[in-house]
Every structure is written in C-alpha cells, then in structure tokens.
Amino acid sequence: MSEVQSLPMLEVDPGPVDVERILVVTAHPDDVDFGAAGSVATWTHTGVEVAYCIVTDGDAGGSDRTISRADLAAVRRDEQREAAAKVGVSDVTFLGFPDGRLVPSIELRRDISRVIRRFRPDRVVAQSPERYWERLYASHPDHLAAGEAAACAVYPDARNPFAHPELLEEGLEPHIVSELWVMATERANRVVDATEQFDKKLAALRSHRSQVGDGADIEDLIRPWMSGAAQSAGLPEGRFAEAFHVVGTR
C-alpha cells in the first residue's frame, strides 16, 4: 500500500519587502473585494500604494431588469470606488470592456500593459486563468480571460519594448513586474494574514449594494473561506487569511 502524502502547508507572507506599489487586475467591480480586499487593506496599512485595474464595468451583473445597463455600469463604478476607499485605495482605472463577453485579446493585453507601465508596480495581483473546480463561480469566463490577459501583460508584454509599440509612442517605457500573485486558485502557496483588516474587507464588500443588497449574509460567506485559508497555513484558530499562488517573474 502506498503512503498517503500530506499536502505542503501554505507559507504565511511576512509582509511587503521591497514592495512599494501593487496593482490588482480583475474582471468586474467587486472581484477584488471578494478575493483580496483583506490583503489590500493589510498592504495599504503598512504604507504600500495599491491601485486597481477593473477590466469591465460589470453592467451584466445582477438581476434587476428595471435599470439600464449604462446606469448599472455607472452604479457599479461608483460602488467600486467606494469599496476601494474603505481599504485605502484611491487609484481605480476602468477599462470598459464588455461584461460577459471578455476574451484575452491583444487589445486587452495592451490596455493592462498600459496601466502597468503607467503605475509601475512591483507586484501584480490577478485572477486565475485556470478553472477552479472546487468553487466554480470563482471561474466566471470573464475571470479566466482577465487572468490570462493580466499574466500576458506581466510577461512578456509590459516589459517588452517591441510589444504594443503605441505605448512607447505614448511615452510609456517598459516595466518589469517582479511578482505575479494569483487569486482563487488550487495552486495557492502563500497566505496573507488579514485578521486585523477583516472588518474593512466586509465594509468593502457591503459597498457593492447592487450585488449584495444589505450585505447581511456576507460575513457568513466570507468567514469560512478566510478561516480555512488561515488554518491551511497553520495560523491559530480565530485568524483570517487570503490565499494566493505567488509566481516570481525574473
């Protein structure tokens, strides 16, 4: 009989080292808050500058047919700005790609590369381009497309002077991102202990009123996810964490 091998314990991130700027790229408003708002609040609390790049305006979200898609897009942009402020983020870029029809096109790769070259982050946090079978709703096709495009923007597009020559014409020089952190993945190898920022994460999520209503059930949804991630890293009971797959790019 073969021996059963235990899975390696996730590493607890010691905190940003030589990291001054972090860019988070997601498909929709609220994606960053479900996946990483606790970590974002932890990072900004230590003085790291964090910016968001939201690929769509989320105009296909929700089930209210009485509001126009253009009006919903405006609402969701405002909600995301409000949520960002709750965790210390003021720089939010919306790329305006169509919600529900996203593909990892050259145009999307170029536009994410433009934001990378403008903001010049040390780290990019993005969604996974791989389907997450344990939490299928984490693998919305737009999430997969945004994750693939962001990964391509990190390597090779943003660092390659010959990729998207129009960016050079705009005065945006190539930039090397040192780390790619992937959310909602079965390949997680690191967690951020966000216990002290748990309430800020809940506040950010409750800002998305068009999607979560009064947000009464949000804590019951989020608490098991974050406590499970903490336990997977050996943190004491009562701690809350967010998990990522950290990939070096140099």
The mean pLDDT value of the chain amounts to 94
**Percent of the chain whose predicted confidence (pLDDT) is above 90:** 90
- Give the model confidence (pLDDT) of 40-58 as tens digits: 999 999 999 999 999 999 9
Element (H, E) at 153: helix 141-154
**Percent of the chain whose predicted confidence (pLDDT) is above 70:** 97
**Band of pLDDT at residue 250, cut at 50, 70 and 90:** confident
Amino acid (one-letter) located at 175: H
Whether residue 249 is predicted with pLDDT greater than 70 in this model: the reply is: yes
Whether residue 4 is predicted with pLDDT greater than 80 in this model: the reply is: no
HSE, side-chain direction, 13 A CA sphere, residue 197: 23
Cis peptide before 156 (omega within 30 of 0): yes
- Give the model confidence (pLDDT) of 68-99 as tens digits: 999 999 999 999 999 999 999 999 999 999 99
Q: Taking the domains of the chain in order of start, what are their residue ranges?
A: 19-248
Whether residue 2 is predicted with pLDDT greater than 70 in this model: the reply is: no
pLDDT value, residue 134: 83
Tell me the whole-structure pTM to 2 decimals.
0.95
Token look-up 């994750």 returns: 147
Across the range 144-170, mean pLDDT stands at: 98
**Measured distance CA(1)–CA(38) in Å, rounded:** 43
The DSSP bridge pattern shows strands 49-56 and 91-97 to be parallel
pLDDT value, residue 7: 46
Specify the length of the chain in residues: 250
User: And the tokens for 120?
Assistant: 């010049």
Amino acid (one-letter) located at 135: R
Across the range 205-214, mean pLDDT stands at: 96
Q: Class of 19-248 per CATH?
A: alpha beta
Q: What sign does the dihedral 61-67-70-72 (CA atoms) show?
A: negative
CB 89 within 8 A of CB 40: yes
